[in-house]
Amino acid sequence: MNATAEMAGLTSQRTDGPQACRLVIFDCDGVLVDSEPIAVELLLEMISAAGGEITREAAYERFLGCSLSKIVAELEDRHQITVTAGLLESMRVGLYERFKQELQPIHAVGEALSRLEQPFCVASSSQPERIRLSLSLTGLADRFASNIFSATMVRHGKPAPDLFLHAAAQMGVEPHACVVVEDSPAGVTAAKRAGMRVIGFTGGSHAAPAGLDAKVRALRPDLMLNTMDRLPEAIAELEAARR
Ligand SMILES: [Mg+2]
């Protein structure tokens, strides 16, 4: 507060530090839906069919939380796979077929959403069509309605902050009043660059094979969480910490 405002008895709202949480921004894959093992298996099969070699852990390291354009660039540059429109389409169809058979919500996420006091939205590296399919197959679509934001809506995907800033602006909330829930190193970095608090989530079934706990923890998120059962309490903890 400056001296003039103090003399006048005015209080100013801090804009440089964390504010009360007024929006929770969820990543989709690995946070709302347990999709990462399915998506990574598909990429492993494709790389191996093309004669390439990659370990499961390396696949997680290179592809987790990345946009389609980044995945395509990686396949072309590192694995010399020419990603034609036809190949892209067959990847898309193959993934959606598996989602329809296997995709599950992250354990207890529906109950956690019901207990949240704040508005929430989803901001994902995936295409809008894939986000909607994932949410609808897992019974979560109605919870998010139209509050769905995709990396296709901004110039730079995660780890750039653009998508989270776009989601916050569309939802009418300042970055400092947002809490992001993310499982990928790229997503945690993006949230921090956006000036948002971030919860590192390691409750997805990919967390162990991807070695996520150590990788996410190393980026110093505000809090680590390994089950959605505790999400509302985790947000309350962040609220208490700012006082
Ligand atoms: Mg994710």
CA of 31 relative to ligand 1 center, distance in Å: 6
Q: What is the pLDDT of residues 115-148, one digit of tens each?
A: 999 999 999 999 999 999 999 999 999 999 999 9
The answer to whether the 23-33+104-241 and 37-102 domains have the same CATH topology is no
Residue 3 Cα to ligand 1 midpoint, Å, equals 46
- Give the Cα separation of 40 and 60 in Å (integer): 7
Q: Which residue would you say has higher pLDDT here, 144 or 15?
A: 144
C-alpha 184 – ligand 1 centre gap (Å): 5
For 18, residues 6+ apart whose C-beta sits below 8 A from its C-beta are 176, 177, 197, 238, 242
Closest CA to 170 of 110, 113, 119, 134: 119
Query: What are the φ and ψ backbone dihedral angles of 21, each rounded to 5 degrees?
Result: -75, 120
Pick 190 or 80 by higher pLDDT: 190
Task: Give the count of beta carbons closer than 10 Å to the beta carbon of residue 156.
Answer: 12
CATH class of 23-33+104-241: alpha beta
In this prediction, residue 18 has a pLDDT band, given cuts at 50, 70 and 90, of: confident
| Burial 106-119, CB ≥16 within 10 A → b, else e | beebbebbeeeebe
**What does the alpha-carbon distance between residue 50 and residue 124 come to, in Å, rounded to a whole number?**
28
From edge to edge, which strands make up the β-sheet containing 197-201? 148-150, 120-124, 23-26, 178-182, 197-201, 223-225
Q: What's the CA-to-centroid distance between 156 and ligand 1, angstroms?
A: 16
Q: To 10 degrees, what angle do helices 185-193 and 162-171 make?
A: 60
Q: Is the dihedral of CA 61, 166, 172, 124 positive or negative?
A: negative
- Gap from CA of 123 to ligand 1 centroid (Å): 10
Per the CB < 8 A criterion, the answer to whether 225 and 199 are in contact is yes
Parse the chain into domains and list their residue ranges. Answer: 23-33+104-241, 37-102
Ligand 1 centroid to Cα of residue 206, in Å, is 10
Q: Which fold has domain 37-102?
A: DNA polymerase; domain 1 (1.10.150)
Q: Residue 124 C-alpha to ligand 1 middle, in angstroms?
A: 7
* Interval between CA 35 and ligand 1 midpoint (Å): 9
Which band of pLDDT confidence, cut at 50, 70 and 90, is reported for residue 3? very low
CA–CA gap between residue 78 and residue 90 (Å, rounded) = 20
How many angstroms separate the alpha carbon of residue 149 from the centre of ligand 1? Answer: 14
